[in-house]
Amino acid sequence: MANLDILRRKLEHFERELAITSNSESKFELAVRIEECKSEIEECESNINPPSSRSTPTSLEKVYVKRNYLDSYTIEQYCHQKIEEKGALLRINAPQKMGKTSLIFNIREYCQQHNMRAERLSLREFDLQNIQELESFLQCFCQEVSQTLNLPTAVNDHWRSQGIAGNKSKCTSYFEKHILNRDKFPVVLAIDDVECLAPYPDVCQEFFSMLRSWHEAKTEIIWQNLRLIISYSTEQFIELPLNDSLFNVGVNIELREFTEEEVQILASHYEVLEDRVSFEEMTDFVVASPHLMELAFSYFKNNPNYTFEEFLKFAPTQQGVYKDHLRRLLGILNRLPIGKEYKNIVTSNVPVSTDPVIGDQLGRLGLIKWEGNRAIPSCKMYRQYFSRYLK
């Protein structure tokens, strides 16, 4: 129940912030987080899933479709090769539910098989009060890293022993002394849900500048042993002062939607075959993100009599397979001025010329596609659902 309390506190905090802020970018971020929080609370209350596993794609571990990257190599292979490099830095970014966390698990498994210590650390699991101040955040960060890697923790002692030094410097020396110095095995640290820092720009800026300085230090052997994976959702774009930016170094991994063939491979894992579903129509009707595809196919699998026609009919309603997903998006749109603009887009038969800022936010939610500088809904389902329900 403690989790539920934290979630409620978070929700309250975000709603208060939303009421007072006037910056459209912050408003957008807060609206996204409010809806996330709400669905987490719902999940928690209905006791189906503890919230910490919200983002853990249990079913996807069984069904994992590798995506093509270049010349028939998969994105996974590319990541595996890159993570072997000394002082590697991978940045994974995509909208939510595009399979970022799954990819991290995939890389983690590979690393563990290849004599590396590899773990994932989600910033979403940090308590809100620990994340707002740099000192408590970095302490908490060190603590969590030690714990997930199964190393003894010595955070408080270390902090004390460093006297009045700066926090970033303390955190850095903690890694040197207590994390990287253990043995000769490389440490692969995947920091997931980094967008959680977005509401705290000070912490965010300092944290990233510290990570950047680690990356710059890779001429030293000890820092060559650290391999970082940073994963963040593009829905919450992190605006950073550029001179500290971590985002012009390392390798950028952008996850895109499944192609028709990849959808087909996924479906075959659920024993859903071409005679039951038209994959061409499917990818046209719904955004082919791993999560949405998986939801549909597991439903098909569990309800053998369910037809594709029924799917097409009910999906854009309050009762369909995607009701939670759609309600979350609806909640965000109804809170923000971009909702009105989106209504124009879904009700228009032609592409609509859209203000770049609004378009950018809609794009990050996966709601639109661009045709030149005009926007259209990213799939048929969105057009049908939002033209009906959006205020």
Residue ranges that bind another protein, judged by CB under 8 A: 70-71, 73, 77-78, 81, 93, 134, 161-169, 172-173, 202, 205-206, 209-210, 212-220, 222, 242-245, 247-250, 252, 254
Report the DSSP beta bridge partners of residue 251.
Answer: 90
| Least gap, CB of 290 to another protein (angstroms) | 21
Contacts of 121-126 with C-beta under 8 Å, sequence gap 24+, read 121/145, 121/148, 121/189, 121/190, 121/191, 121/192, 122/55, 122/192, 122/193, 123/191, 123/192, 123/193, 123/194, 123/196, 123/197, 124/55, 124/192, 124/193, 124/196, 125/52, 126/196
| Least gap, CB of 51 to another protein (angstroms) | 31
Using the minimum distance from each CB to another protein, give the nearer residue, 113 or 278: 113
Tokens of 261: 């063939």
Using the minimum distance from each CB to another protein, give the nearer residue, 158 or 276: 158
d(CA 313, CA 251): 42
d(CA 98, CA 292): 9
| Least gap, CB of 16 to another protein (angstroms) | 23
Using the minimum distance from each CB to another protein, give the nearer residue, 33 or 91: 91
Using the minimum distance from each CB to another protein, give the nearer residue, 214 or 386: 214
| Least gap, CB of 69 to another protein (angstroms) | 8
| Least gap, CB of 185 to another protein (angstroms) | 20
Collapsing DSSP to helix, strand or coil, 91 comes out as: strand
| Least gap, CB of 86 to another protein (angstroms) | 9
| Least gap, CB of 77 to another protein (angstroms) | 7
Residue 94: phi, psi to the nearest 5?
Answer: -170, 165
Q: Which residues of 229-258 are buried (b: 16+ CB within 10 A; e: fewer)?
A: bbbbbbbbbbebeeebebbeebbebebebb
Using the minimum distance from each CB to another protein, give the nearer residue, 212 or 364: 212
| Least gap, CB of 347 to another protein (angstroms) | 28
Tell me, rounded to whole angstroms, the distance of Cα 118 from its chain centroid. 19
Using the minimum distance from each CB to another protein, give the nearer residue, 48 or 164: 164
Q: Which of 100, 24, 32 is nearest to 236 (CA)?
A: 32
Q: Which residues contact 159 (CB under 8 A, 6 or more apart)?
A: 139, 170
Q: What is the DSSP string of 24-35?
A: HHHHHHHHHHHH
Q: Which residues contact 388 (CB under 8 A, 6 or more apart)?
A: 316
What 8-state DSSP symbol labels residue 175?
I
| Least gap, CB of 191 to another protein (angstroms) | 17
Strands 187-192 and 117-122: parallel
What 8-state DSSP symbol labels residue 176?
I
